[in-house]
Structures are given as C-alpha cells and as structure tokens.
C-alpha cells in the first residue's frame, strides 16, 4: 500500500515512516550532530547531509508529514511560528505592498507593521472576512502578498479562502493563510487556492505545550519558495533535531486530539451560548455565527478548539470569572491537550479588544468537567 494514498489518521500514526533498521526501533532516531563526515576522497558519507543547519533527517521527516497532510509540494520547519511568518515576508522587496487581515493574532500584526515600516513596504489592513472589502483593498494596486488568518484569533472570523485567492490574483499577489486555529485536519487552504499555508506548530500540531515551532507549506515549488528555503539555510532560522523529534511524536496523536478537542469545543460553546451571564460566544461551529455556513464548507470536520466569549458585566467581572476557573489554566497559547483561558484585553488593550472577552482553548479533558468548571466560575 502506497503511504501517499493513506488517510491522514494513518499518516499521522505512522509519522516518521519506516522502522529504524540500525536499531530496530519503531520510532525515528534523533541525530544531534552539527556536521557530517566525509570519506578519504572527501566525498560525503551521506550525500544528503553536509551541515545540520539545512540538513537533518528527523526535520525532513516532520516536514514530509506536514506537506502530505496539507497536500503541498514541500514544507519548511522553523524555530517558531513568527520565524516562519518572517521568512515569508522577507521575500517582499523594499518598497513593495502587502494586504494583511486586520483583527488577527496581535504578535503577527505588530511584527508585520514594524517590518513594513523598516522596509518602506506599503501595508493595507482590511477585514478579510468581508470578501468585498478584501477585493477592494487588492484593487488599489499591485501587491506582493495577501496574508489572512482563518479562523482568526481572537475574533474567530472565517475568511473565504477561494474569494481571497481571487482577490490576491487580481493584484498579482501570493495568498498565504495562517491556519493555526484550524490544524491541517480541519482545513486545507491549499485546496481552496492558497499558495502557502502557515502553522504555528507550537500549538495543536505539537499539542503538548512543550515545543516552539512553525511551518510553511507551499502548493508549488516557485522562485519565491526557493528564496525562502535558501534564506532559511543561510540565515539559520532552523528547527533543532530534538524539537523536530518531539514535534513528530506529538503529531502521532494529532488526529485523535483534534477530534476530541473539536467535539469538546462545540459542547462548551453551546453551553456558553445558553448561559445567562454570557453576552456572546464567538465560535464558527455555532449556527448563530455569521460565518457558520462558510465554516461548514471549509472546515467540514469541525470548527476547531479555539473560541472567545463575552462575559456580562465589566473588566472586573471577566477577570473574576477567569480567576475562579480550576481546570482552565490562565496562560497564553492554544492547542494543547490542557484547556487554557486568557483575558486578552490584559495582553493587548490598545487594539480595541473588549474588556469582557475571555478566549479559551479547549483541550482533551472531559467536556462535562470543563462545562462544570465554566459553570461554577460564571455562577450557575
């Protein structure tokens, strides 16, 4: 049976491929060497390995799994999600133009703004979940890159990827999609027209809150992609072998984790939507969500594990609810097996985030226990 024809669940469970013939181990080994030997004639003992910055077997194995999951030609791993984003944006020339979705992860927005200011790159920020607004922003003039995030963090807006591709094509730009909050199992941006998909592998792909990482997956190998690969090898923004091994280990359970998290999240969202002390729930898996129909099309396996909700009251009320939670850890991040809660206004009050918004990442615990915890914190 051809490994490439297998379902994602099988690809993930078998992540790393064949048995290690040298040891007989059923998991891939870690090779920590920073350099590789040559023979008496100065030929490489392994022609694929010259120096560890661009060459490591377990890194390539993890990249192969991720490329296959996304249906892409190639994948490149980076030491963080932001490093992956930076590598892509560095292909935009000085004086270029980019179109960027507004209301996305603040760390991304902040870095893009600062980078564009340094490089005299024109940046248009637009609510990309409004397809007409995105098309209008692209119609202003040529651009090099259109960057969207779907579902967005922390607003949980969903972007029509096919429409975004049409808008990007109209101004000659590549379309890049941050699909971190979806995972490769719940959304396939490349199938809807995206040129590049990005994940912070720190989040659900690893799933255990113990590895920093990021990945870019390309639909086709293009000159821009080759530029990114060359820059990564030269500049050294690479993932280490131990981190790649941990990532590969985490991916072996990605399918079962995502299934459980998405199932839990929908139950939690329905509970919150019906709670008298909650003003609104932002989760595309709810029929009340403005982008519910689009989410059903682009994320047929579930709407993910991330959501935000607005507590009735004021900032103090929201902080009190977060403070009373016992199972939801008060911490920044998302996608781990453990559930997390964040008062986002504390992190980015200057961006207009409501003081009463709590963002939660739903883990793999019992949904009933998570609901009970939310219930006692909100007040039954």
The more confident residue out of 4 and 333 is 333
> For the segment 48-74, what is each residue's pLDDT rounded down to a tens digit?
887 888 889 999 999 999 999 999 999
Catalytic residue check, 203: yes
Per-residue pLDDT tens over the stretch 242-287: 999 999 999 999 999 999 999 999 999 999 999 999 999 999 999 9
Give, in words, the CATH class of 3-251: alpha beta
Q: Is the pLDDT of residue 2 over 70?
A: no
Catalytic residue among 160, 178, 195, 373: 178
φ and ψ of 357, to 5 deg: -85, 130
Place of tokens 């990114």: 228
> pLDDT band for position 1 (50/70/90)?
low
Region of 142 on the Ramachandran plot (φ > 0 left; ψ -120 to 50 alpha; else beta): beta
Q: pLDDT digit string (tens) for 92-104?
A: 999 999 999 999 9
Collapsing DSSP states into helix, strand and coil, what is residue 244? helix
157 belongs to the catalytic site? no
Q: Collapse the DSSP code of 131 into the 3-class scheme (helix H, G, I; strand E, B; otherwise coil) and give the result.
A: helix
User: Is the pLDDT confidence value at 217 over 90?
Assistant: yes
C-alpha distance across the termini of the chain, in Å:
54
Burial of 229 (0-12, 13-18, 19+ CB in 10 A): middle
Catalytic entry in 97, 157, 188, 203 = 203
Q: From the candidates 53, 90, 252, 324, which is the catalytic residue?
A: 53
In the chain, where does the domain assigned CATH 3.40.640.10 lie? 3-251
Is residue 3 very low, low, confident or very high in pLDDT (cuts 50, 70, 90)? low
326 carries an active-site annotation:
no
Average pLDDT estimate for 356-361? 98
Q: Of these residues, 105, 195, 232, 257, which one is catalytic?
A: 105
pLDDT tens digit sequence for 326-355 = 999 999 999 999 999 999 999 888 888 999
pLDDT score at 19: 74
Question: What are the residues facing 51 on neighbouring strands?
Answer: 35
In CATH, what is the architecture of 254-378? Alpha-Beta Complex (3.90)
Average pLDDT for the chain: 95
Is 105 designated active site?
yes
């Amino acid at each position: 049976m051809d490994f490439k024809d297998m379902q994602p669940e099988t690809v993930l469970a078998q992540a790393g491929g064949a048995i290690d013939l040298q040891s007989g181990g059923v998991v891939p080994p870690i090779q920590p060497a920073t350099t590789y030997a040559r023979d008496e004639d100065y030929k490489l003992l392994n022609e694929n390995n010259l120096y560890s910055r661009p060459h490591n077997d377990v890194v390539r194995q993890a990249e192969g799994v991720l490329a296959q999951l996304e249906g892409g030609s190639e994948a490149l791993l980076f030491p963080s999600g932001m490093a992956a984003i930076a590598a892509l944006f560095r292909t935009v020339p000085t004086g270029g133009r980019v179109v960027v979705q507004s209301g996305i992860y603040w760390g991304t927005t902040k870095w893009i703004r600062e980078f564009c200011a340094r490089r005299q790159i024109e940046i248009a920020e637009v609510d990309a979940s409004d397809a007409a607004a995105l098309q209008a922003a692209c119609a202003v003039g040529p651009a090099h890159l259109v960057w969207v995030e779907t579902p967005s963090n922390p607003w949980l807006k969903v972007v029509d990827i096919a429409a975004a591709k049409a808008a990007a094509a109209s101004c000659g730009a590549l379309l890049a999609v941050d699909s971190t909050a979806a995972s490769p199992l719940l959304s396939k941006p490349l199938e809807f027209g995206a040129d590049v998909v990005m994940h912070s592998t720190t989040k659900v792909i690893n799933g255990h809150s113990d590895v920093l990482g990021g990945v870019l997956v390309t639909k086709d190998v293009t000159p821009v992609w080759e530029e990114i690969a060359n820059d990564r090898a030269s500049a050294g923004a690479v993932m280490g072998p131990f981190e790649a091994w941990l990532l590969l280990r985490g991916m072996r359970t990605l399918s079962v984790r995502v299934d459980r998290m998405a199932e839990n999240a929908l139950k939690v969202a329905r509970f919150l939507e019906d709670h008298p002390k909650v003003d609104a729930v932002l989760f595309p898996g709810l029929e009340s969500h403005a982008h519910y129909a689009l989410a059903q099309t682009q994320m047929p396996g579930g709407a993910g594990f991330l959501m935000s909700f607005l507590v009735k009251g004021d900032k103090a009320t929201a902080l009190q609810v977060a403070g009373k939670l016992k199972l939801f850890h008060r911490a920044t991040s998302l996608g781990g097996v453990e559930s997390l809660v964040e008062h986002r206004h504390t992190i980015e009050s200057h961006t207009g985030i409501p003081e009463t918004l709590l963002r939660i990442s739903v883990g793999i615990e019992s949904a009933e226990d998570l609901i009970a915890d939310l219930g006692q914190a909100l007040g039954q």
